Chains A and B, each alone.
Chain A
């Protein structure tokens, strides 16, 4: 019965979205306040209805209701509760339901928190959000209904792919979707601005928190996925340039560019057309990703069961929404004239360079991702584009970006001076050269590229710290005064410092783990010792253990260290229903991860094939990413996002107690 309730709620949500997407749009044009007033309640209603539907599906998974096809195909009674819940989005239908849930969540959030928006703009944003919801609800209802019944009902389910039964991956999709789908808000803002023919600094100011929120979640989601690949796939890699990874990375690049160009639009009233364009493009990449993952036009590790009908439907959604937005852009865009003028060498100039490099990088990733498809369509053969292409194209573009990231924040608005600014960064530059040279001399003389990576990371870190020091006038005013200034820094500035500094740490981690990983593969008997880098791994043998829905062979390794032994227990799991997985054991230390994988048994005397790694600075990647995400949240909590926007007076007035009627 609950399933039917969920299905019915979804149909009602479709109706709510239809209302939200049409009447308010007409109302805003006619200045009809009654029709306009439908938008916010409809957005909230749509969200609540989808939430009911999502709850119904979750309940079916938790209670193992195998009369539902998706549950029977993706769940199992013996599965732990966490994975029963994550099973909801571990399949195509359920994940689409999560998709629209997040879409409606953002719509409802704008309805609730958008009190300081210009009324016509708010209504139009909500209407566009409603139209997007309408399209995707139709997609679910007509091609991917999660509430489809299965008859006869099986005794037990087929279980979720064991690779996906993992805490990291349980939270990866919700977080990723919050970012991915969150970009629908920037799209709606852009389309609404084009309908109004107005993208003023106030508009840019309203777009920024939504962009920032999406960027923060997207960063977190991508990192979680990468972390999962690192420990679950069991060979220490963390990024593969797989089409689906690229599908989440392209919106991230566009959102990062948008985040920066919106600053120029807000502060300097310039780059408007460009900012609106990026706001559309960021979500277009999200839709493109959804299309690539679910249509099966590209083969990928992550692909869901592909279905041409679904592919056609999503392609139509993509063409109608993004094509429609770009048509509007071609028509109304030229009227968006910027006000602020600036020299090439200026803060604006730095942000333009940032945008140029990020968009070029996104275009290069797009090209590499769809190139096999293009060749195939042109009958030029089937090829696959691999990591070498992406590394050789992407990294050279990131080098000037990182160099500029150190300088840009120190430039003046309107016109800055390159020479003196770089000269001021002499300490940061000197330290960076020192670190780079040190890495080359003392760690690895064979890899100049790795030493250059260390130089870049150090440069970005010290330049970011230098910028913070300049802001608080460290050593120029008494320490007490500096401390006072430090505490008074706006949170948005802290956000920038954290995000840039976090990236520096991530770059250090990427460089070290790519260049200096040590690996040792051998057959070990209990008691055997193996040197990996500067660590000694001792194998204590393996034994059989039993998990809730799997049996496993668990090996025990000891690594001697100063403060007692570190124990690592990698497993090889045999799931009852679907195949086996390898669970690497990882012990993070400040300088790197001790990483052990247990292979197949060899010989009669308890010997096993083992793979042992030392992955230097990998924890830095996760820590640095965490700092970037933290920076996003800190910046989001800045009070300027909540107050000070035009229209605040009205919002304040509404908050005063209404006179008794």
Chain B
């Protein structure tokens, strides 16, 4: 149990997807201008990461390994994630229209989001068990959402600030990300 808690916080805070592993930078800079859309994007990524981990783990361990086809990992995972996102999108559209209106436009963007594929690779490379993979995915998704929300909060304020002209917009967002990363560096101590 303590192992699972360590994995969760390790993924969410210490090895944060965006700030340490540099995965999912496109939504991090693209969808972090407004708090509302940042939250929706974060939740959509969290959802897809967890489902993708739950599906790719059995595929790798019960299908690819027995047939000695581990080298097919990249191809299979990309296809699985792409079709998964489609299925999730269609299911949400049929069952919950409010949720679809909130998350709908973000789901297709996630197909080519390296955060999702990256997490499935990390789960395999770290030799996580099934439950550990799910917890790792939950932690990574939670960490992603957290950072996206913090970033959008800062950027909403930055719009009113007056940085040097050359830094306005994207450059100052990168500098902000640096300071955010420095803050998250302090979490390194919480896990041995």
Whether chain B is bound by chain A comes out as no
